Amino acid sequence: MQQFLRSVLPVVALTLIAADDPAPKYRVVAPKDDGIIATAINNKGDIAGFEWRDDKFYQGVVNQEPIFASGKHIVTLPLLNGYTATFPAGISDDGLVTGRVSKPMRPGVRIMLQNQAFVWDEKRGILGLGVLPGDWASFASAITRDGKRVGGFSIGDGTLRACVWDRDGENWKVSALPESQHLGSQSIALSDDGKLFAATEGALPCLWKQDGQGRWERRIIGEPGSMIPRGVNRAGLVVGIRSTGDGRTHAVTWSNSDGMKLLDKPAGYERSEALGVNNMGTIVGMIDGPHGSKTGPHAFVYENGRLRILTEGGPNFVSATAINDHGQITGTMEKDEDEKAEEPRKEK
């Protein structure tokens, strides 16, 4: 359980939708309107992520609990035997959740499988996926719609390699992607059919594509530091984040036809992140204003060359992390701290 105290590429700018323009409506999916950090959504509208819960023993401390949710029904994900924390990251259409489990660090001591990729469902429980031969840790970040392939990476001595786990009956087989030795971030993206894999190799954003014979080919899609991929769809549209020297982040996209593009931010906003994309090319993410200001954060949707703040989720919807092919969107639901402070205290 995790405990917290409350408290140089040419780019094409994309336009912000006017407030009075007609906009398509989307359905925001979350089991509650506060205290939810959803990391993934499937095409049934089920989500995986975290729920903030007040600690039973320590006032002012909240625990970040890993969950699977279908409608208002919430299931707390279990721990794998020997582990102390569970971090869900993806979910298939049949409710198979993937992510990583972890153990506490011990200074100066390497712990085998300190982090390990896992899969879980309500019927079969939780299962560790192991690592590439010779490695000692693994992370899973995404899963295909059919639940037959998991995408992530495996860590060894001096290596951090992109890999996939493929279901083989009741077991899983892990294999490394070619030309991947030193991934530059812990963020990877996998298309929902499992044929495209996006990540940074070193500082280079890359896109791997699997052909009909099962061979993977890597393509460099940008200059060093131009993108950290966070999502990719079947058409090869990659969305992600660019960090700049001033500490800000900027939402960026890449496609074979248009290359790298920067999503323009509305006046008053300084940070943005493109976090998810569906197979229709609709992009979701987060925009935020200057640190300490009342501007943002807000969830956004981008489609047909236009970006708008998502009002469908209400004022608590501060970041959109994923969208499915039915236009259902999920993300972070969190009340403003000032609003929480004004709420009446409940008598115990």
pLDDT in tens, 297-322: 999 999 888 899 999 889 999 999 99
Q: Assess whether pLDDT exceeds 90 at residue 18.
A: no
**Strand pairing class (27-28; 317-323):** unpaired
Q: How confident is the model at residue 24 (pLDDT cuts 50, 70, 90)?
A: low
Residue with token string 């390699």: 161
Higher model confidence: residue 53 or residue 4?
53
Strands ordered across the beta sheet of 204-210: 189-190, 196-201, 204-210, 216-220
pLDDT value for 296:
76
pLDDT value for 82:
95
Q: How confident is the model at residue 193 (pLDDT cuts 50, 70, 90)?
A: very high
177 touches 216 (CB < 8 A): yes
pLDDT value for 107:
86
Distant-in-sequence, close-in-space partners of 281: CB < 8 Å, separation ≥ 6:
233, 235, 237, 303
Return the SS3 of 339.
helix
Domain borders along the chain are 2-7+12-335
Listed residue (59, 60, 68) closest to 118, CA to CA: 68
pLDDT value for 236:
98
253/191 Cα distance (integer angstroms): 15
Other CB atoms within 10 A of residue 246 CB: 6
231 touches 238 (CB < 8 A): yes
pLDDT value for 291:
81
What would the pLDDT profile of 242-300 be if each residue is shown by its tens digit?
Answer: 999 888 999 999 999 999 999 988 888 889 999 999 999 999 999 998 887 778 799 99
DSSP one-letter code for 6: -
- CA distance from start to end of the chain: 25
What average pLDDT does the segment 188-214 reach?
A: 97
What average pLDDT does the segment 166-195 reach?
A: 96
Return the SS3 of 342.
helix
143 touches 150 (CB < 8 A): yes
pLDDT value for 338:
55
What would the pLDDT profile of 118-153 be if each residue is shown by its tens digit?
Answer: 999 999 999 999 999 999 999 999 999 999 999 999
CATH number for region 2-7+12-335: 2.120.10.30
Report pTM.
0.88
pLDDT value for 110:
86
* Residue 297: cis peptide before it, omega within 30 degrees of 0: yes
140 touches 90 (CB < 8 A): yes
What does the mean pLDDT of the chain come to? 89
pLDDT value for 306:
87
Q: Assess whether pLDDT exceeds 70 at residue 344.
A: no
Return the SS3 of 85.
strand
154/136 Cα distance (integer angstroms): 8
Listed residue (292, 244, 245, 297) closest to 269, CA to CA: 297
314 touches 329 (CB < 8 A): no
